[in-house]
Amino acid sequence: MNDQQQQQWAQVIENARRQAQPKPSCPEDWGATLKDAYIVQGLGLHHRLDDAVIGFKGALTNQRVQETFGATEPALGLLFASSARPERVIQSADFAKGMIETELGFVLSRRITAPIESVSALQSCFAGICLMVELVDLNFSQFPPSLPDLIMHNAAAAQFIKGIVSPISDPDCLSLTLLSAEETLHHAPALDVLGGQWKALHWMVNHALALGHALLPGQVLMTGSVGTVQPLKSGEYVLKGGDLAPLIFRVV
């Protein structure tokens, strides 16, 4: 892709988002690379100047999900202030092909300006951990999308719910359980994410820095789906994870 195509496609994506249309696929003859994809993702920020980036999301951090998209590496997405749902009520009408992902979130305690070399150095950058639920919309015009298309569409991010923040112990010892109407929808270890939560965070932090993003205190990093991705259906849900405060939400 050349500069003009990158600018043009960022506008096409923004138009589709605002009009709630299916996410378009980039023309194959434009030859979009991963570098192009992140440039287009970054250009999208110019269309959302009044919508702060309050965190980051890891995508394709689970091998099974990577296989679905034919990918061999994870992807990074942005969390916007407008996507947060503090009331913990999700309107299913907001989605065309909505899915529920259960995740862990880590809250930054300080600004990060240089790549992190070790896990021990990384751990000192975070103040707390919480359960999180991400609601993605897989309404792509072509499914599965290519990895560049997924990245350009901000890894299908739509909405998210953040739980109560607790001190961090050992996130890799946790397992996440999602229940609805007292039925267990899934139960999975946090280690499913890139073989470890700190490993996932290490990749996310350094990749975000390489892309030129600011990593600031209070931002939350959501490391990726733990357990099976569930279809978005009406009902009451409870997400549990060890000693972390349960996250209760409703889909209407």
Q: Average of pLDDT values for 60-74?
A: 80
Strand 235-241, strand 244-251: pairing:
antiparallel
* CA–CA separation, 56 and 175 (whole Å): 22
Query: 172-184, pLDDT tens digit by residue?
Result: 999 999 999 989 9
Kindly state the tokens that stand for 227. Answer: 């357990």
* CA–CA separation, 92 and 251 (whole Å): 6
Crossing angle for the helix pair 3-18 and 34-43, to the nearest 10 degrees: 60
Q: Which band of pLDDT confidence, cut at 50, 70 and 90, is reported for residue 72?
A: confident
Domains detected in the chain: 3-251 (3.90.850.10)
Q: Which band of pLDDT confidence, cut at 50, 70 and 90, is reported for residue 65?
A: confident
Query: 102-154, pLDDT tens digit by residue?
Result: 999 999 999 999 999 988 899 999 999 999 999 999 999 999 899 999 999 99
Q: Given this model, what pLDDT does residue 67 score? A: 78
pLDDT at 64 over 80: no
Q: Given this model, what pLDDT does residue 62 score? A: 79
* CA–CA separation, 114 and 38 (whole Å): 19
Structure-model confidence comparison of residues 71 and 35, the more confident one: 35
Kindly state the tokens that stand for 146. Answer: 């290519």
Q: Which band of pLDDT confidence, cut at 50, 70 and 90, is reported for residue 195?
A: confident
DSSP tally for the chain: helices H, then strands E: 6, 12
- The count of residues in the chain is 252
Of 239, 234, 237, 238, the residue nearest 251 (C-alpha): 234
Q: Given this model, what pLDDT does residue 71 score? A: 80
pLDDT at 9 over 80: yes
* CA–CA separation, 89 and 218 (whole Å): 23
DSSP state letter for 173? G
pLDDT at 249 over 90: yes
Beta bridge partners, 77, equal: 57
What is the model's pTM?
Answer: 0.94
**Any residues with CB less than 8 A from the CB of 201 and at least 6 apart, and which?**
106, 122, 126, 221, 223
pLDDT at 239 over 80: yes
Strand 53-59, strand 75-80: pairing:
antiparallel
DSSP state letter for 203? H
